[in-house]
Amino acid sequence: MRIIDIRERTVPIRSQIRNAFIDFSQMTCSTVAVVTDVMRNGRPVVGFGFNSNGRYAQGAMIRERFVPRVLSADPASLQNEAGDNLDPAKVWQAMMRNEKPGGHGDRSVAVGVIDMAVWDAVAKIAEKPLYRHLADTYRGGDADERVFVYAAGGYYYPEKGNSALQDEMRRYLDLGYSTVKMKIGGESLEEDRRRIEAVLDVVGEGRRLAVDANGRFDLETAIAYAEMLKPYDLRWYEEAGDPLDYELQSRLADHYEGSMATGENLFSMQDARNLIRYGGMRPDRDILQFDPALSYGLVEYLRTLTMLNEHGWSARQCIPHGGHQFALSIAAGLGLGGNESYPDVFQPFGGFADGIAVEDGYVRLPQDPGIGFERKANLWEAFQPLLG
Amino acid sequence: MRIIDIRERTVPIRSQIRNAFIDFSQMTCSTVAVVTDVMRNGRPVVGFGFNSNGRYAQGAMIRERFVPRVLSADPASLQNEAGDNLDPAKVWQAMMRNEKPGGHGDRSVAVGVIDMAVWDAVAKIAEKPLYRHLADTYRGGDADERVFVYAAGGYYYPEKGNSALQDEMRRYLDLGYSTVKMKIGGESLEEDRRRIEAVLDVVGEGRRLAVDANGRFDLETAIAYAEMLKPYDLRWYEEAGDPLDYELQSRLADHYEGSMATGENLFSMQDARNLIRYGGMRPDRDILQFDPALSYGLVEYLRTLTMLNEHGWSARQCIPHGGHQFALSIAAGLGLGGNESYPDVFQPFGGFADGIAVEDGYVRLPQDPGIGFERKANLWEAFQPLLG
């Protein structure tokens, strides 16, 4: 069995969001198909992948560096021991040939997209949902049948005030979410205090609200916000400073006893390890948000989970960024703490299978082989041009 | 005055080198021209740039993300206060619009190439060699008229043994270099010991030899090599472990009193700062090798130098990776400790101006406006297609 083709196509991500750093209307997304010669139900197995939001499509890098290395590798060198499926770790090694260590950005997205498609193909060849395949492979079959998801949003509405923000949060609760996340740092601290109190009026208690500064604070501002946030006992206080400023994160922990979260802008096991070594993160309460789709895929994420275990961290402290079905499958299969969700935005890539509603803040997974893309109609449609 | 066009063209880097991680025969290089409407000697000023070796060309990223942002910016927003030249920091800000923090790889190369070309244009508009422009702007005119350079090579010759290695090193001495660098870690420790002694027979003393492990050692191996290297009193022991494994670097310092060097695979001020904070590097002896061409250019390198100063480091401890004229100009203009050089390889991008020989391990710079690319015939020829 072998990979016979890997195709990439760049498409826009439809979103009118703007956060502290970027205007998402300009974002692009790489879609990828890994075509195998394995037949299931009379058709060749094809795995699909895409990059999640916040970073750009990597079509040229995928086509020029990573695909040729995989397609030129001896097919036997990419198989599992039984020779009846792909070994994602071996495909990963083939992709990273002639790549120097360090410099984990963009490249990590290109590899992550292909890795996602490889895992989709592997689960389809194994004729299992990916989350069951992962649970069977790594956890003795112990899968979570439902995963905690929270609704990330809470945008600024400069023209409309806090009633528009409250309406947005009410919509998330109506969709079945128990926990929501809102942006902070885009206005003054006092204005953010008023926005937080407006959202708390809707969601009822601090444990149902997380806040996200998108990495924009210096230490002084981060501490000032920590003091302001304390009395609300929030779910977490996210990405206060620059993602690589571990000292800021560590010093902030001296000023904030509640949960903190970060990691969506760290793209390798080595970067994640530095956060754990130097960031003062607390395994009993803090949340790690590494996004496997942006970070060299699940092969690297497995290394990160091993590293976390060696440092005394439970996988339950991981709630990945990105709001996609890949991370959802990983969460259910490997026992993570949950998964992000962006209701309605980043379509067609954000969100989960059609017809499976969020209930009390948890979502179930489809039982189809693979990641479940076939059960999300608009995403499935977006992949079709790859098969043309 | 304004930038009227930015063009990119990808070309191969001619090299048959293979190190611990990569086969350089597959490397590519982005060449860039920044075309302005400023006239000098009857022709529009054009600045040129390229990425140095070890990372790949970034043509798609340059064309799709960075160039459109610069060309769509209000020209006045990219000028210095007098309005008579470009302000590289403002061009840099325009390039980084809609880019999230963290993830410093590949993107840092794309921005670095354009930044190099912007500085070349700026110096040409100022009608000065870049190194003089930098000295005038940042050091009260105090430029170094000659820069320490060392010959990096010392490859493995599996078929030919140590006499080929000695021949290579003799050639470097004949070219005027006083100090050479060789690879280690490609064979056993005992074989490397014999190779080191063979090179010392040629160069005469340990202070004239540095060794480079290209990031391949775990801590145990790094320490074993440290013990082996100690008696030779070498110039430095370079990149023992993974570039982001600051703990390895720091623990290794407990076992090696001599100089160590690292940093060529760190691509931002934030990553460099983490090395300084956590890597146990010693400001009185260790060497920092951040390569401005791969690391968002000189605008970011100036931030790194400021950070180093705040942490008690002299710019003299910086000897950039890459062996290119851009880093040479920065070394002379900002008082770095020297610059890498790869005699004969990575052509036409490696090396300095034609007709200026290395003397006693130092090289002088041409006096033409800009970085001096016009004085390196094969490089100048490689840029010509950008003007077509």
Q: What is the pTM of this model?
A: 0.97
Q: Is residue B364 in some structural domain?
A: yes
Whole-number Å distance between alpha carbons of A89 and A75: 14
Q: Which chain B residues are within 8 Å of A247, Cβ to Cβ?
A: 277
**Distance from the A181 Cα atom to the nearest Cα atom in chain B, whole angstroms:** 19
Q: Which chain B residues are within 8 Å of A55, Cβ to Cβ?
A: 100, 103
Q: Which chain B residues are within 8 Å of A249, Cβ to Cβ?
A: none
Number of domains in chain A: 2
Q: What are phi and psi of B47, to 5 degrees?
A: -100, 145
Which of B19, B26, B58, B98 is most worth mutating to test chain A (most A CB atoms within 10 A of its CB)?
A: B98
Catalytic residue status for B183: yes
State whether B98 and B148 are in the same domain: no
Quick: pLDDT tens for A317-341. Answer: 999 999 999 999 999 999 999 999 9
State whether B345 and B222 are in the same domain: yes
For residue B140, the model assigns a pLDDT of: 97
State whether A172 and A246 are in the same domain: yes
Q: Which chain B residues are within 8 Å of A294, Cβ to Cβ?
A: 103
Q: Are the CB atoms for B26 and A98 separated by under 8 Å? A: yes
State whether B214 and B267 are in the same domain: yes
Which of A244, A303, A311 is most worth mutating to test chain B (most B CB atoms within 10 A of its CB)?
A: A244
Q: Is residue B179 in some structural domain?
A: yes
Minimal CA–CA distance to A182: which of A151, A207, A219, A222? A151
Domain range for A7: 3-127
**A242 and B268 in contact by Cβ < 8 A?**
no
Please write down the HEC assignment for all residues of B81-139.
CCCCCECHHHHHHHHCCCCCCCCCCCHHHHHHHHHHHHHHHHHHHCCCEHHHHHHHHHC
Quick: pLDDT tens for A20-69. Answer: 556 777 889 999 999 999 999 999 999 999 998 889 999 999 999 999 99
**Distance from the A263 Cα atom to the nearest Cα atom in chain B, whole angstroms:** 10
Q: Which chain A residues are within 8 Å of B278, Cβ to Cβ?
A: 246, 274, 277-278
**Distance from the A270 Cα atom to the nearest Cα atom in chain B, whole angstroms:** 6
Whole-number Å distance between alpha carbons of B36 and B101: 30
Which residue, B98, B126, B154, sits at the end of a domain? B126
Q: pLDDT tens digits, chain B, 388 residues: what are they?
A: 999 999 999 998 766 666 555 677 788 999 999 999 999 999 999 999 999 888 999 999 999 999 999 999 999 999 999 999 999 999 999 999 999 999 999 999 999 999 999 999 999 999 999 999 999 999 999 999 999 999 999 988 888 889 999 999 999 999 999 999 999 999 999 999 999 999 999 999 999 999 999 999 999 999 999 999 999 999 999 999 999 999 999 999 999 999 999 999 999 999 999 999 999 999 999 999 999 999 999 999 999 999 999 999 999 999 999 999 999 999 999 999 999 999 978 888 989 999 999 999 999 999 999 999 999 999 999 999 999 8
Which of A23, A52, A69, A104 is most worth mutating to test chain B (most B CB atoms within 10 A of its CB)?
A: A104
Quick: pLDDT tens for A192-215. Answer: 999 999 999 999 999 999 999 999
Q: Is residue A328 in some structural domain?
A: yes
Residue in A56, A243, A274 closest to B246 by CB? A274
Whole-number Å distance between alpha carbons of A76 and A371: 25
State whether A55 and A170 are in the same domain: no
Percent of chain B with pLDDT over 70: 98
Residue of A nearest to B294 (CA): A103
Q: Which chain B residues are within 8 Å of A22, Cβ to Cβ?
A: 98-100
Which residues does residue B212 pair with via DSSP β-bridges, in sequence order? B183, B238
State whether A354 and A237 are in the same domain: yes
Residue of B nearest to A98 (CA): B22
Whole-number Å distance between alpha carbons of A147 and A131: 11
Peptide bond into B348 cis (omega under 30): yes
State whether A321 and A216 are in the same domain: yes
Residue of B nearest to A242 (CA): B101
User: What are the Cα distances from residue B16, in Å, to B12, B19, B23, B24?
Assistant: 12, 10, 8, 6
State whether B263 and B122 are in the same domain: no
Residue of B nearest to A63 (CA): B60
Residue in A64, A101, A215 closest to B243 by CB? A101
Q: Is residue B131 in some structural domain?
A: no
Whole-number Å distance between alpha carbons of B133 and A31: 46
Residue of B nearest to A107 (CA): B106
Quick: pLDDT tens for A155-196. Answer: 888 888 899 999 999 999 999 999 999 999 999 999 999 999
Q: Are the CB atoms for A181 and A212 separated by under 8 Å? A: yes
Q: Is residue A64 in some structural domain?
A: yes
**Distance from the A341 Cα atom to the nearest Cα atom in chain B, whole angstroms:** 19
Instruction: State the virtual CA torsion across B174, B175, B179, B181 in degrees, nearest 10.
Output: -100
Q: Is residue B132 in some structural domain?
A: no
Q: Which chain A residues are within 8 Å of B270, Cβ to Cβ?
A: 242, 244-245
Say which CATH number the domain at A380 has: 3.20.20.120
Which residue, B73, B106, B126, sits at the end of a domain? B126
For residue A21, the model assigns a pLDDT of: 58
Q: Are the CB atoms for A216 and A20 separated by under 8 Å? A: yes
Residue in B26, B54, B98 closest to A23 by CB? B98
**A271 and B244 in contact by Cβ < 8 A?**
yes
State whether B162 and B190 are in the same domain: yes
Other Cβ atoms within 10 Å of A257 Cβ, number: 12
Active site residues of A: 183, 321
Q: Average pLDDT, whole number, for chain A?
A: 96
Minimal CA–CA distance to B327: which of B286, B361, B298? B298
Quick: pLDDT tens for B260-310. Answer: 999 999 999 999 999 999 999 999 999 999 999 999 999 999 999 999 999
Tokens found for residue B365: 């710079």
Q: Is residue B112 in some structural domain?
A: yes
**B106 and A102 in contact by Cβ < 8 A?**
no
Interface of A with B (CB under 8 A): 21-23, 26, 28, 54-56, 59-61, 64-65, 98-108, 215, 242-247, 265-268, 270-271, 273-274, 277-278, 294
**B215 and A101 in contact by Cβ < 8 A?**
yes
Interface of B with A (CB under 8 A): 21-23, 26, 28, 54-56, 59-61, 64-65, 98-108, 215, 242-247, 265-268, 270-271, 273-274, 277-278, 294
Which residue, B93, B126, B159, sits at the end of a domain? B126
For residue A385, the model assigns a pLDDT of: 97
Other Cβ atoms within 10 Å of A115 Cβ, number: 31
State whether A106 and A159 are in the same domain: no
For residue A18, the model assigns a pLDDT of: 63
Whole-number Å distance between alpha carbons of B165 and B154: 6
State whether B145 and B85 are in the same domain: no
Residue of B nearest to A241 (CA): B101
Residue of B nearest to A24 (CA): B98
* Measured CA angle at A105 (ends A132, B31), to 5 deg: 140
Tokens found for residue A339: 């998964």
Say which CATH number the domain at A75 has: 3.30.390.10
Tokens found for residue A204: 């009822």
Catalytic residue, candidates B133, B183, B324, B376: B183
| Burial of residue B360 (number of CB atoms within 10 Å: 0-12, 13-18, 19+) | exposed
**A105 and B106 in contact by Cβ < 8 A?**
yes
For residue A19, the model assigns a pLDDT of: 59
Q: Is residue A100 in some structural domain?
A: yes
For residue A373, the model assigns a pLDDT of: 97
**Distance from the A370 Cα atom to the nearest Cα atom in chain B, whole angstroms:** 29
Residue in A28, A61, A270 closest to B244 by CB? A270
Which of B29, B106, B218, B300 is most worth mutating to test chain A (most A CB atoms within 10 A of its CB)?
A: B106
Catalytic residue, candidates B124, B133, B321, B376: B321
For residue A15, the model assigns a pLDDT of: 66
State whether B191 and B144 are in the same domain: yes
**B103 and A277 in contact by Cβ < 8 A?**
no
ipTM score of the complex?
Answer: 0.96
